[in-house]
């Protein structure tokens, strides 16, 4: 019996990686223009990093982590997200001594034991950014503009940007009291997960997907109405600067985000077609301190690549075709093959994509193959061509034949 890949994972075939590389290249270009440097951190970390960083009461930590004991008895977890690891690396490598803010980006696989469904995998990939050290609303604005520019660069227009502020520990404390009063009246009717969150993290109850809890949450007090003066000013500034740049967004007071480290501004980019969140992020002013550093405010986001690719395909139906060979060199016989190899290698030195036979196939089956792989030009090297050092190059799209001297420079001039 064939062994199948684990549920919630994907294989990427050449036609997939081809698209992915195009997307990654475009995004990398945008990131470089905003001054971000790439970081790569281990795929597994000490479990404690995520418990402390992401938060004990989150779904991610409570239900979704791939945690195991290694042979040395340490508790290890496959990273479910990138921010905790990036900040650990920031602290461990003394990056706090670099000019501030430190702007990092990553493109990494993440692991969450989730209920697999459309757009929800167990191994998925994120491109994320972290701007570490800047407390001003300007960093939030630049981060959101960067996110938007990434989508623009990929020709993706069908997104909605949702924004919220979840305040700071100061105003959130006050708000949580009021929220608890509201939820407390009906607590018995909420699901067990909500009940378990009531004491430690009541805001997460607002994010519950259970229908009965959603109903009970109608009319709940909103964090945005209880922001302290500093958080209110910060949020107003973010909104006004985004408006000034012509960015359309909506305030969605239900965004609480699934990870505990967020403060102040939070945002999500939503796929206008299926409602899935394709990018999520926000400010997280307390995380660096939580992980043992000095108080260092930060903001960032991550976009789910699988969800992004789907939107990209939708928006660019005709744009991407797999790379096809510039030239197929058809040759039969040892001496002919030697010549064909030499010309192929010379052309590849000039960055030309050349295919040739690796099976000692017949003339006819090589012709068929060149056609199948959509070679743009065809060069035939037979006995006659070897003797005269002359050949014909056929333009496969219109059938036109051009005489050439069997020399890579001449060939290059025709097929370039
Ligand atoms: P997150 O909202 O958990 O945030 O994930 C960010 C994005 O990753 C989501 O919007 C979604 O596109 C994608 N994603 C999440 N889970 C899955 C899944 N199971 N399958 C497929 N795609 C998924 C974070 O992870 C934060 N670390 C983002 C951040 C960076 N905040 C500040 N800096």
Q: Please choose, from the candidates 137, 60, 171, the residue with its C-alpha nearest in 3D space to the C-alpha of residue 297.
A: 137
Residue 413 Cα to ligand 1 midpoint, Å, equals 48
Assign 172 a pLDDT band (cuts: 50, 70, 90): very high
Assign 414 a pLDDT band (cuts: 50, 70, 90): very high
Residue 313 Cα to ligand 1 midpoint, Å, equals 20
Mean pLDDT of the chain: 95
Give pLDDT, residue 286: 97
DSSP summary character for residue 120: B
Q: How many CB atoms lie within 10 A of CB 50?
A: 25
DSSP summary character for residue 3: P
Contact 287, 298 (CB under 8 A): yes
Ligand 1, from 45, 121, 126: best to mutate by most atoms within 8 Å of Cβ? 126
Which atom of ligand 1 has the smallest separation from the CA of 277? 10
Residue 26 Cα to ligand 1 midpoint, Å, equals 20
Ligand 1, from 281, 303, 306, 312: best to mutate by most atoms within 8 Å of Cβ? 281
Which atom of ligand 1 has the smallest separation from the CA of 258? 3
Contact 302, 81 (CB under 8 A): yes
DSSP summary character for residue 85: H
Beta bridge partners of residue 356, listed in sequence order: 329
Give pLDDT, residue 169: 92
The closest residue, in CA terms, to atom 22 on ligand 1 is 304
Q: Model confidence over 348-391: pLDDT tens digits?
A: 999 999 999 999 999 999 999 999 999 999 999 999 999 999 99
Beta bridge partners of residue 129, listed in sequence order: 105, 301
The closest residue, in CA terms, to atom 11 on ligand 1 is 304
Give pLDDT, residue 132: 98
Please say whether the structural domain 327-415 has been given the CATH code 2.40.30.60.
no
Give pLDDT, residue 268: 98
Say which residue the tokens 């480290």 belong to. Answer: 261
Rounded distance between C-alpha atoms, residue 280 and residue 255, angstroms: 10
Residue 101 Cα to ligand 1 midpoint, Å, equals 23
Give pLDDT, residue 254: 84
Give pLDDT, residue 366: 97
Secondary structure element (H or E) that encloses residue 156, with its range:
none
User: Where exactly are the structural domains of the chain?
Assistant: 14-168+228-315, 174-219, 327-415
Give pLDDT, residue 416: 86
Is pLDDT at 134 greater than 80 in this prediction?
Answer: yes
Mean pLDDT along residues 318-323: 73
Q: C-alpha distances in angstroms, 350 versus 158, 178, 266, 370? A: 40, 69, 49, 21
Residue 259 Cα to ligand 1 midpoint, Å, equals 10
Answer whether the bond into residue 101 is a cis peptide, omega within 30°. Answer: yes
SS3 content of the chain, % helix, strand, coil (to 5): 40, 20, 35
Q: Model confidence over 300-315: pLDDT tens digits?
A: 999 999 999 999 999 9
259 CB burial (10 A radius; 0-12, 13-18, 19+): buried
Angle at 164 between CA 160 and CA 167, to 5 degrees: 165
Q: Please choose, from the candidates 331, 341, 359, 354, the residue with its C-alpha nearest in 3D space to the C-alpha of residue 412.
A: 354
State both tokens at 269: 């980019």
Ligand 1, from 81, 143, 286: best to mutate by most atoms within 8 Å of Cβ? 81
Assign 413 a pLDDT band (cuts: 50, 70, 90): very high
pTM: 0.90
Rounded distance between C-alpha atoms, residue 57 and residue 201, angstroms: 7
Secondary structure element (H or E) that encloses residue 239, with its range:
helix 229-244
Residue 121 Cα to ligand 1 midpoint, Å, equals 11
Is pLDDT at 320 greater than 80 in this prediction?
Answer: no
State both tokens at 355: 């295919």
Give pLDDT, residue 317: 82
The closest residue, in CA terms, to atom 30 on ligand 1 is 301
Q: C-alpha distances in angstroms, 143 versus 94, 104, 127, 287? A: 23, 12, 13, 18
Say which residue the tokens 């030499």 belong to. Answer: 342
Is pLDDT at 179 greater than 90 in this prediction?
Answer: yes
Half-sphere exposure of 318 (CA within 13 A, CB side): 0
Residue 124 Cα to ligand 1 midpoint, Å, equals 9
State both tokens at 71: 């042979």
Q: C-alpha distances in angstroms, 205 versus 30, 61, 196, 210? A: 37, 16, 9, 10
The closest residue, in CA terms, to atom 16 on ligand 1 is 120
The closest residue, in CA terms, to atom 23 on ligand 1 is 304
Assign 208 a pLDDT band (cuts: 50, 70, 90): confident
DSSP summary character for residue 8: T
Rounded distance between C-alpha atoms, residue 284 and residue 82, angstroms: 13
In the chain, what is the straight-line distance between the N-terminal and C-terminal CA atoms, in Å? 48
Ligand 1 neighbours by CB, cut-off 6 Å:
81-83, 112, 114, 119-121, 124, 126, 128, 130, 258-259, 277-282, 284, 300-304, 306-307
Contact 271, 307 (CB under 8 A): yes
Q: Please choose, from the candidates 134, 76, 183, the residue with its C-alpha nearest in 3D space to the C-alpha of residue 284.
A: 134
Residue 314 Cα to ligand 1 midpoint, Å, equals 21
Give pLDDT, residue 72: 98
Dmax (CA) of the chain: 95
Say which residue the tokens 């139906």 belong to. Answer: 317
Rounded distance between C-alpha atoms, residue 18 and residue 29, angstroms: 17
Please say whether the structural domain 14-168+228-315 has been given the CATH code 3.30.930.10.
yes
């Amino acid at each position: 019996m064939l062994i199948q890949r684990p549920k919630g994972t994907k294989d990427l075939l050449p036609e997939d990686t081809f698209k992915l590389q195009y997307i990654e290249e475009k995004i990398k270009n945008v990131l470089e223009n905003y001054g971000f440097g790439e970081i790569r951190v281990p795929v597994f970390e000490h479990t404690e990093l995520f418990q402390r960083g992401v938060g004990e009461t989150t779904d991610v930590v409570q239900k979704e982590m791939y945690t195991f004991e290694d042979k040395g008895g340490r508790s290890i977890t496959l990273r479910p997200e990138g921010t905790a690891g990036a900040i650990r690396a920031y602290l461990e490598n003394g990056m706090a001594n670099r000019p501030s803010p430190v702007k990092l980006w990553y493109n990494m696989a993440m692991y969450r034991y989730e209920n697999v469904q459309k757009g929800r995998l167990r191994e998925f990939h994120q491109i994320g950014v972290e701007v570490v050290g800047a407390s001003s609303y300007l960093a939030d604005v630049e981060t959101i503009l960067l996110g938007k520019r990434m989508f623009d660069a990929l020709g993706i227009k069908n997104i909605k940007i949702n924004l919220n502020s979840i305040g700071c520990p100061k105003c959130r404390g006050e708000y949580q009291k009021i929220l608890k009063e509201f939820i407390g009246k009906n607590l018995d009717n909420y699901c067990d997960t909500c009940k378990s969150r009531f004491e430690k993290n009541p805001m997460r109850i607002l994010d519950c997907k259970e229908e009965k809890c959603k109903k009970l949450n109608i009319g709940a007090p909103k964090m945005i109405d209880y922001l302290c003066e500093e958080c209110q000013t910060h949020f107003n500034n973010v909104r006004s600067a985004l408006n000034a740049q012509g960015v359309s967004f909506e305030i969605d007071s239900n965004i609480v985000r699934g990870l505990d480290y967020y403060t102040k501004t939070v945002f999500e980019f939503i796929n206008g077609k299926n409602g899935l969140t394709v990018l999520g992020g926000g400010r997280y002013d307390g995380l660096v301190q939580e992980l043992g550093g000095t108080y260092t405010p930060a903001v960032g986001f991550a976009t789910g690549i699988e969800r992004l690719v789907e939107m990209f395909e939708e928006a660019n139906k005709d744009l991407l075709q797999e790379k096809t060979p510039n030239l197929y060199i058809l040759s039969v016989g040892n001496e002919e093959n030697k010549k064909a190899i030499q010309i192929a290698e010379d052309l590849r030195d000039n960055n030309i994509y050349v295919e040739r036979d690796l099976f000692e196939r017949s003339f006819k089956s090589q012709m068929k193959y060149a056609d199948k792989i959509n070679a743009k030009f065809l060069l035939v090297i037979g006995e006659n061509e070897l003797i005269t050092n002359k050949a014909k190059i056929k333009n496969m799209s219109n059938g036109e034949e051009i005489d050439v001297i069997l020399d890579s420079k001449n060939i290059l001039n025709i097929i370039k």
